[in-house]
Amino acid sequence: MKVQSNAYTLIYSAIVVLIVATCLAVFATALKPAQLKNIEIEKKQNILASVRIASDKTNVEDQYNRYIIDSYTLNTSGEKIQGIDPFLINLREELKKPLSERNLPAYICSRNDSAFLVIPVYGKGLWGPIWGYVSFMKKDSVAEGMPYYNTIYGVNFDHQGETPGLGAEITQSFFQIPFRGKAIFNEQGNFVSIKVIKGGADPGSGHEVDGISGGTITSKGLQAMLDTCLVAYEHYFKSAN
């Protein structure tokens, strides 16, 4: 058969495509478990980092099993839902649903006799998604109508493609540490979230942190992310059972 002929061209391309597709399918299937494991390890590391527990690839499983004692799926009334694994919830899809239909993941951490709640957050930065985990220390007793979970214990943020040196700085400790000790409810027990302030937060305020110079849109996106994600847990913060 001539190399220039139509039949040869057709058969040749069909064979090439078949071979390439088979090879890729085999490789993709073979590498899939290792890839999923990486994603799981990263998620566990991020959850632990928000409760200020440092872990690396080798000890993350041990640390996670030791400190994260429970996890629930909640609805917006603060009740537990059975049958949905919180670890597998896709926050991006949940945020598209109306508030009352959302499944909310919550992780309970126990460390040095204190109980912590870890909540995943997901939102938009300048160039792509930003996400993270926020942890709260539980108060043993509170007045009627006041939240059990109010004070932030630690945060951990990550992003897909924010500008290096500007928006991408949300992953740095100088940005994350000021969140510690900030309250998301005011003295009257109303949800106020955390404001990320451009040009410097009021040092006396318990609800503000400094934004990032040159990363205004990322800072605003982060503020909106905290607001939309945390408000869904309001009933749970106050009932905590």
Partner 1 sequence: MKHWKLLTNPLNDENPITVQVLGICSVLAVTVQMKPAIVMAASVIVVTACANLIVSLLRTTIPPRIRIIIQLVVIAFLVILVDQVLKAYLYDVSKKLSVFVGLIITNCILMGRLEAFAMNNRPWESFLDGIGNGAGYGMILIVLSTIRELFGSGSLLGYQVIPEGFYKLGYVDNGMMILPPMALITVGIIIWVQRGYNRKLIEK
Residues binding partner 1 (CB under 8 A):
3-4, 8-9, 12-13, 16-17, 20, 23-24, 27-28, 31, 34-35, 38-39, 42, 160-161, 163-165, 214
The count of other CB atoms within 10 Å of the CB of residue 96 is 9
> Nearer to partner 1 by C-beta: 127 or 191?
127
Integer CA distances (angstroms), 57 to 46, 54, 71, 163, 231, in order: 12, 10, 21, 27, 33
- Interstrand relation of 68-74 and 104-111 (parallel, antiparallel or unpaired): antiparallel
Report, in Å, the least distance between residue 193 CB and partner 1: 29
State phi, psi for 117 to the nearest 5 degrees. Answer: -115, 130
Report, in Å, the least distance between residue 69 CB and partner 1: 27
Residue 32 corresponds to which tokens in the numbers above? 């899939």
> Nearer to partner 1 by C-beta: 42 or 62?
42
Report, in Å, the least distance between residue 46 CB and partner 1: 12
Report, in Å, the least distance between residue 37 CB and partner 1: 9
Report, in Å, the least distance between residue 38 CB and partner 1: 4
Report, in Å, the least distance between residue 12 CB and partner 1: 5
> Nearer to partner 1 by C-beta: 40 or 234?
40
> Nearer to partner 1 by C-beta: 39 or 143?
39
Dist. CA 197–CA 209, nearest whole Å: 6
Residue 154 corresponds to which tokens in the numbers above? 């630690």
Q: Measured between alpha carbons, how far apart are the two ends of the chain, in Å?
A: 77
What single string gives the DSSP state of each residue in 175-237? HHGGGTT-BSB-TTS-B---EEETT---TT-SSEEE--TT-HHHHHHHHHHHHHHHHTTHHHH
> Nearer to partner 1 by C-beta: 77 or 160?
160
Report, in Å, the least distance between residue 216 CB and partner 1: 15
Query: Which helix (H) or strand (E) is 92 found in, with range?
Result: helix 91-96
Dist. CA 194–CA 184, nearest whole Å: 6
Dist. CA 222–CA 225, nearest whole Å: 5
> Nearer to partner 1 by C-beta: 91 or 192?
91
> Nearer to partner 1 by C-beta: 42 or 79?
42
